[in-house]
Amino acid sequence: MFGYVGTGIEDDRASRRNLESFDCWAFRPRVLAGALVPDLTTTIFGHTYAAPFGIAPMGGAALGCFRGDQVLAAGAAAEGLPMLLSGASSTPMEAIPPLGGAPWFQAYMPADRTRAAALVRRVWAAGFKVLVVTVDVPVMSNRSHYERLGFSLPLRPSIRLALDGIRHPRWLLDVLMRTLLSDGVPHYENLGPKRGGPLMGGSPVSRQRAQLGWDDVAAVRALWPGHLVLKGLLHPADAERARQEGIDGIIASNHGGRQLDSAATALEALPGMVAAAPDIPMMMDGGIRRGSDILKAMALGARLIFVGRPFYYAMALARTNGVRHAARLLKDELHRDLAMLGCQKATGLDPDLLVRICQERAQ
């Protein structure tokens, strides 16, 4: 499981650079700012959150913790943070909004317009007000190294997987067996308007998804009455096109380094995308490990930052308490770093606070 969650694809270049890209920026603090009480609150789409970060969508949450999606949602609600439920999750979307907070839903939109329309109606009926459409998965990525780990998607029984389960009795009993006894065989619950196939079945990615185009985005925009966000953009021209199509927000992302191994990082793409679409909220994910990472992204123009793997590890270790503890660690770091920067609010940080300290890789 750790190999599945903690790695990217192929040579791990994109996943590794997601972390390294933050080291290319350093702060230039302002001093003698007086007594400051840092304010972390962030308002986006009419909702005020306790901090400028949230929990990124993770389709395998329930594989790391019993009812992991509910655990993440409950922790996010308790800490006043947004949580993005993955369309590849094994938890029915209808189970999440009643837990409180203001969760968002991330969809892998079917190429079939009829099924896509039915999925949009289902998401709205479930109580979600923000729909995030992921657009960077036209095909499944090359995850061949999972075979060396004994892991695969779709999940298939193997000797290696069985031995790993025996060596980790807590996971075997408290996650796998508890899930099977309480909820039955996990299925892809949210890929379409109805329950999908089991996790041990076929590929979760529709073979038709490569056919998706901007006309499909326009069709979703016409159907969806709430806020619509596109996730997985890295090119300024795509950001500009999203603005023209009436998209309400963008999440710059390379899918955690799990799609195109030579893709740019979200942090590298941020300045160009913000310049191309300055009038809509720009968000990002990928490589966030510290409060200082969040502030660097915000100084480069991001309004909200989504964090994935750290919350997954916290969830697997200590369930809701772990999620809340991880959130508080980031909040504490944000308070401390803002004070050291001489800034009161996390929003609206001056990009002049940053200096680039890495040379360009190629001229």
Kindly report the CA angle at 311 between 308 and 312, in degrees rounded to 5?
A: 80
227: annotated active-site residue: no
pLDDT of residue 363: 38
pLDDT of residue 3: 61
pLDDT of residue 140: 74
Residue 95 maps to a domain: yes
Identity of the amino acid at 63: L
Distance CA 166, CA 88 (A): 27
Distance CA 210, CA 233 (A): 16
* Number of other residues whose CB lies within 10 A of the CB of residue 234: 20
| DSSP code string of 42-62 | EEETTEEESSSEEEPP-TTHH
Identity of the amino acid at 283: M
| DSSP code string of 178-210 | HHHHHH-S-B--SSSSS---BTTSS-SS-TTGG
Residue 225 maps to a domain: yes
Distance CA 261, CA 248 (A): 28
pLDDT of residue 309: 94
Distance CA 232, CA 6 (A): 19
Distance CA 336, CA 333 (A): 5
Name the catalytic one among 145, 187, 227, 255: 255
CATH number of the domain that residue 68 is part of: 3.20.20.70
Residue 361 maps to a domain: no
Residue 363 maps to a domain: no
Beta strands (DSSP E) in the chain are 25-27, 42-44, 47-49, 53-55, 84-85, 104-107, 130-134, 227-233, 249-252, 282-285, 304-307, 354-356
Q: Which domain holds residue 220?
A: 2-356
Residue 257 maps to a domain: yes
User: Do residues 297 and 275 touch, judged by C-beta distance below 8 A?
Assistant: no
Residue 282 maps to a domain: yes
pLDDT of residue 201: 63
Annotated binding-site members for FMN: 57-59, 86, 106, 108, 134, 231, 253, 258, 285-289, 308-309
Is the bond into 52 cis (omega within 30 degrees of 0)? Answer: no
Residue 125 maps to a domain: yes
Annotated binding-site members: 4, 57-59, 86, 106, 108, 134, 143, 231, 253, 255, 258, 285-289, 308-309
* H or E element, residue 11: none
Distance CA 74, CA 249 (A): 24
State how many domains the chain has. Answer: 1
Could you list the pLDDT tens digit for every one of the 363 residues in the chain? 666 676 667 777 888 889 999 999 999 999 888 768 899 999 999 999 999 999 999 988 988 999 999 999 999 999 999 999 999 999 999 999 999 988 999 999 998 999 999 999 999 999 999 999 999 987 776 676 666 666 666 666 677 777 877 888 887 888 888 888 888 888 989 999 999 888 766 555 555 565 789 999 999 999 999 999 999 999 999 999 999 999 999 999 998 877 788 889 999 999 999 999 999 999 999 999 999 999 999 999 999 999 999 999 999 999 999 999 999 999 999 999 999 999 999 998 999 999 999 875 443
140-to-98, 136, 265 alpha-carbon distances in Å:
32, 10, 19
Residue 275 maps to a domain: yes
219-to-14, 41, 121, 160, 284 alpha-carbon distances in Å:
32, 34, 13, 44, 24
